[in-house]
Amino acid sequence: MSKQHKSLALIDLNADAPCCPPLAQSQVPAETAAVLAPAFKALGDPVRLRLMSMIASAEDGEACVCDLTPAFNLSGPTISHHLKTLREAGLVDAERRGTWVYYRARPQILRQLAALLSIEPVAAATA
């Protein structure tokens, strides 16, 4: 098989450790920005931000589309579209169980985004 140049898989959004130092500590390289920006973009819509929160804060760690949809004054297809956006941004996972589809948050990438934004009092490696 060829190199499968997925081009941007340089950064593993599934890794457990933060992929990169805080944005305020060292300049984010162009490639990293290209990978992470879509995740922020996905969170850049009020509907998706609420969906993300509803999923991430759900009781069993997962939420059914059938519970998500009625929380908004939007059509089913529209909610489905937003969920797809979150999925493609790597923020959530979907699983079908029988008639229903359940969505589950991916804590790793959330952690990475949080780490990127973090502005620690910098017990900085003064090295």
Residue 81 lies near DNA (rule: CB under 7 A): yes
Q: Report the residue from 8, 100, 114, 117 that binds DNA according to the rule CB under 7 A.
A: 100
Diameter of the chain measured on Cα atoms: 56
Q: Report the residue from 26, 59, 60, 98 that binds its own copies according to the rule CB under 8 A.
A: 26
Residue-by-residue DSSP string for the chain? ------SSTTS-TT-SS-SS--TTTSPPPHHHHHHHHHHHHHTTSHHHHHHHHHHHT-TTSEEEHHHHGGGSSS-HHHHHHHHHHHHHTTSEEEEEETTEEEEEE-HHHHHHHHHHH----------
Crossing angle (nearest 10°) for helices 107-117 and 30-42: 120
Binder of residue 77, out of its own copies, DNA, none (CB less than 5 to 8 A by kind): DNA
Binder of residue 23, out of DNA, its own copies, none (CB less than 5 to 8 A by kind): its own copies
Question: With respect to its own copies, which residue has the nearer C-beta, 9 or 33?
Answer: 33
Choices 6-14, 22-30, 60-68, 117-125 (CB under 7 A): range interacting with DNA: 60-68
Residue 85 lies near DNA (rule: CB under 7 A): yes
Q: Which residues bind its own copies (CB under 8 A)?
A: 23-28, 30, 33-34, 36-38, 40-50, 52-54, 56-57, 105, 107, 110-111, 113-115, 117-119
